[in-house]
């Protein structure tokens, strides 16, 4: 599989050719976020870093959707949802709750975590494995539930 950045670049060209303005705008937002990170840190992004950026963008869009729904702004919800769908199409497949719980159990066992004080160790172990594949806020609460008992 091609790396995410070149895939998005190819998709930008395809959107330009098909005159799909909405998709093009969403893809350019993604490219701008990548470029910002590369310029700020003077680096070439790895696939792992691009996934982290996409994951953060997806979270921001989900938060915006929630806020727009509360404000009864369905016009804006539709736009955010459209952009979120595009962002999510580049993220790895989401893990099921069973898979997430299994990875949490494994991380707790590997780190020897026994209480909520060890949560940082467990999160540190899981972050790389779950980045872009699970909602880290949800993962955090699942870990708290397991370590809190």
104-125 pLDDT, tens per residue? 999 988 888 888 888 888 898 8
What pLDDT is recorded for position 83? 97
What pLDDT is recorded for position 13? 97
What pLDDT is recorded for position 94? 86
Helix (H) / strand (E) element for 97: namely helix 97-111
What pLDDT is recorded for position 1? 40
Which residue carries 């701008």 as its tokens? 32
Q: What is the pLDDT of residues 87-110, one digit of tens each?
A: 999 998 888 889 999 999 999 888
Please state the pTM of the whole predicted model. 0.79
Q: Which residues of the chain have pLDDT under 70?
A: 1-2, 149
Domains assigned to the chain: 4-90 (1.10.1510.10), 97-148 (1.10.10.410)
CA distances from 20 to 30, 46, 76, 86, 109 (A): 16, 28, 19, 13, 49
The three-class DSSP label of residue 111 is helix
CA distances from 63 to 3, 73, 86, 96, 102 (A): 27, 14, 16, 21, 27
């Amino acid at each position: 599989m091609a790396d995410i950045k070149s895939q998005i670049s190819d998709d930008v060209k395809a959107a330009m050719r098909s005159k799909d303005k909405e998709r093009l705008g969403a893809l350019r937002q993604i490219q701008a976020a990548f470029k910002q990170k590369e310029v700020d840190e003077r680096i070439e992004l790895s696939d792992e870093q691009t996934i982290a950026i996409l994951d953060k963008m997806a979270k921001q869009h989900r938060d915006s959707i929630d806020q727009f729904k509360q404000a009864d702004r369905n016009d804006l919800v539709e736009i955010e949802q459209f952009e979120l769908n595009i962002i999510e199409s580049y993220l790895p497949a989401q893990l099921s709750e069973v898979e997430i719980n299994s990875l949490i159990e494994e991380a707790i066992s590997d780190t020897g975590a026994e209480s909520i004080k060890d949560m940082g160790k467990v999160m540190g172990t899981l972050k790389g494995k779950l980045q872009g594949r699970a909602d880290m806020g949800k993962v955090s609460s699942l870990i708290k539930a397991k370590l809190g008992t």
